[in-house]
């Protein structure tokens, strides 16, 4: 009986610890050296990689690599996109240049979910009309 009780206590501690992960609170420190993925289609997976204060977004759907910085602000993860690795090959005012944007994400149950986007236009961030569906969610690898 003692072994069963010990097992149940250990199982409960592990379950509660895992259950508390991703409860809506995240810090920048929690993201360092983590990888997140989102399946776009069969054989097409976007991958978000976090380093210290920087992120890399390997976008299968755009066939591009986006870079930027990030921060946690008021409980939200904010991605500050600086642009594409290919932007340097574009003319300054080219429509092919990805450019700057700001994304707001929530963290819950071990998932990162996009909730809004702002494009950087004429020196300021402007709310985008882009709508993120519930499927637009990254899961930790």
- Which tokens belong to 124? 């300021």
Rounded to whole angstroms, the Cα distance separating 133 from 137 reads 8
Does some domain include residue 135? yes
- pLDDT, tens digit, for every residue of 8-28? 333 332 333 323 344 567 888
Residue 68 confidence (pLDDT) above 80: yes
3-state secondary structure of 99: coil
Q: Is the pTM of this model over 0.85?
A: no
Does some domain include residue 98? yes
The CATH number that applies at residue 57 is 2.40.128.640
Range of the domain at 135: 24-140
* Residue 6 pLDDT grade (very low, low, confident, very high; cuts 50, 70, 90): very low
- pLDDT, tens digit, for every residue of 96-126? 777 899 999 999 888 999 999 999 999 999 9
Q: How far is CA 17 from CA 14, 26, 32, 33, in A?
A: 5, 15, 20, 21
- pLDDT, tens digit, for every residue of 71-85? 999 999 999 999 898
């Amino acid at each position: 009986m003692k072994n069963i009780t010990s097992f149940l206590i250990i199982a409960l501690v592990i379950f509660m610890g895992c259950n508390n992960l991703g409860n809506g609170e995240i810090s920048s420190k929690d993201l360092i050296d983590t990888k997140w993925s989102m399946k776009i289609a069969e054989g097409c997976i976007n991958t978000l990689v976090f380093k210290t204060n920087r992120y890399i977004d390997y976008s299968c759907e755009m066939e591009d690599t986006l870079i930027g910085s990030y921060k946690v602000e008021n409980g939200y993860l904010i991605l500050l996109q600086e642009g594409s690795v290919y932007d340097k090959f574009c003319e300054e005012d080219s429509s092919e240049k990805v450019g700057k944007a700001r994304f707001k994400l929530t963290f819950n149950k071990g998932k990162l979910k996009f909730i809004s986007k702002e494009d950087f236009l004429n020196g300021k961030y402007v709310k985008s009309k882009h709508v993120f569906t519930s499927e637009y969610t990254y899961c930790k690898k």
